[in-house]
Amino acid sequence: MNETLKVLRERRSIRKYEARQIDPAALDAILEAGTWAPSGMGRQPVVMVAIQDPDTLAVLSRVNAEIMGAPGTDPFYGAPTAVAVLADGGAATWLQDGSLTMGYLMTAAASLDIGSCWINRAMETFERPEGKALLQRWGLPDTLRGVGFCLLGYADGEPPQPKPRKAGAIVRP
């Protein structure tokens, strides 16, 4: 099996992270991989914000937990890095383009032995005052819509075992 297919098959969502920060060169490589994700008409409407500041991560985790209806929990699982994937809401394919970017980020992370997890509720986060304030602080336009948060970090423990693949996922009429 070639290396790409092996990484795709073995990547798992990590929900417990070591406190240590990921290597800066690895983060750069993961983010660059995200820039190569396909986009509708090649418009590249996606912006990735790499967040490693503990205070900002705490705000995002708190807001995410509130939106989820589970205040006081940490839906970011203690990850030392989160990449907010945003896309220009004026692009017809903003959600699809951002979703492909998320996939590229997670696959690149797995290829470098860095754990990742897709966290939802970014759309709602960046519609709230806290999210809009972050966009402003980062110098980004408020036309950007949240697609997801890609958590990154070193797994604390063994990755979960894969679930069996469901029957009927492939149809060849």
At 73 the pLDDT is 98
At 1 the pLDDT is 82
Residue 8 located in a structural domain: no
At 150 the pLDDT is 98
DSSP string, 21-81: PPPHHHHHHHHHHHHTS--GGG---EEEEEE--HHHHHHHHHHHHHHHT-TTS-TTTT-SE
How many domains, the chain?
Answer: 1
Residue 24 located in a structural domain: yes
Element (H, E) at 49: strand 46-51
Strands 81-88 and 115-119: unpaired
Q: Check if the beta carbon of residue 87 is closer than 8 Å to that of residue 122.
A: no
Residue 135 located in a structural domain: yes
Q: How far apart are CA 159 and CA 173, in angstroms?
A: 36
Read off the CATH number of the domain in which 78 is found.
3.40.109.10
Buried b (16+ CB within 10 A) or exposed e, 71-80: eeeebbbebb
> Cα dihedral angle (93, 51, 19, 25), rounded to 10 degrees?
80
Structural domain of residue 148, as residue ranges?
16-153
What string of pLDDT tens digits covers the 173 residues of the chain?
A: 899 999 999 999 999 999 999 999 999 999 999 999 999 999 999 999 999 999 999 999 999 999 999 999 999 999 999 999 999 999 999 999 999 999 999 999 999 999 999 999 999 999 999 999 999 999 999 999 999 999 999 999 999 998 999 999 999 99
In this structure, how many other beta carbons lie within 10 angstroms of the beta carbon of residue 11? Answer: 18
